């Protein structure tokens, strides 16, 4: 049987952000390329949430009009994570990957991957678990 090798370095090349359970937001390399993020330099961005759709918005400071008191999130220069615990407490977004869907009014909009992709095999019913019969007293033999 021949093995088919999987290349872990190849991604889907779709700009995306990921929200994890540690309260971090991650930008993948395709999104960093789209935004023109300089490698090895921290990156600042405003983060927003649409409660009607569950979409997350990301915008560069200066490209959108927000109040002067609004501080943008800072993505670190090594792994491109931003700490967004306050954002998560306030809005409770779904954890997971959000894919880029559009740019509107200088906001990059991202939709959760489960919402974006149609569910697969919805008509398929999972197999039932086998149950073991409990061992009772042995049957009498004559």
Q: For the chain, what are the domain ranges? A: 16-116
Residue 19 has what pLDDT?
A: 96
Kindly indicate the confidence band of residue 50, based on its pLDDT and cuts at 50, 70 and 90.
very high
Kindly indicate the confidence band of residue 3, based on its pLDDT and cuts at 50, 70 and 90.
confident
Kindly indicate the confidence band of residue 142, based on its pLDDT and cuts at 50, 70 and 90.
low
Kindly indicate the confidence band of residue 2, based on its pLDDT and cuts at 50, 70 and 90.
confident
Residue 64 has what pLDDT?
A: 94
Residue 80 has what pLDDT?
A: 94
Please tell me the pTM assigned to this model: 0.73
Question: What are 101-109's contacts with CB under 8 Å, separation 24+?
Answer: 101/55, 105/64, 106/59, 106/60, 106/63, 106/64, 107/48, 107/57, 107/58, 107/59, 107/64, 108/15, 108/31, 108/34, 108/35, 108/57, 108/58, 108/59, 109/50, 109/55, 109/56, 109/57
**Spatial contact of 111 and 55, defined as CB atoms under 8 Å apart:** yes
What are the tens digits of pLDDT across the range 71-121? 999 999 999 999 999 999 999 999 999 999 999 999 999 999 887 655 555
**Whether residue 52 has pLDDT greater than 70:** yes
Kindly indicate the confidence band of residue 123, based on its pLDDT and cuts at 50, 70 and 90.
low
């Amino acid at each position: 049987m021949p093995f088919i090798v999987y290349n872990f370095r190849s991604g889907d090349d779709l700009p995306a952000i990921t929200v994890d359970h540690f309260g971090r937001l991650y930008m993948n390399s395709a999104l960093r390329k789209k935004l023109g993020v300089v490698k090895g330099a921290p990156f600042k961005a405003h983060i927003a949430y649409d409660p009607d759709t569950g979409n997350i918005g990301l915008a560069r400071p200066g490209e959108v009009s927000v109040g002067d008191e609004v501080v943008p999130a800072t993505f670190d220069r090594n792994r491109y994570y931003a700490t967004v615990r306050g954002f998560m407490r306030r809005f409770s977004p779904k954890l997971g990957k959000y894919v880029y869907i559009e740019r509107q009014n200088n906001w990059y909009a991202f939709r959760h991957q489960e919402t974006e992709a149609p569910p697969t095999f919805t008509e398929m019913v999972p197999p039932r678990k086998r149950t073991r019969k409990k061992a009772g007293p042995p049957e009498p033999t004559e």
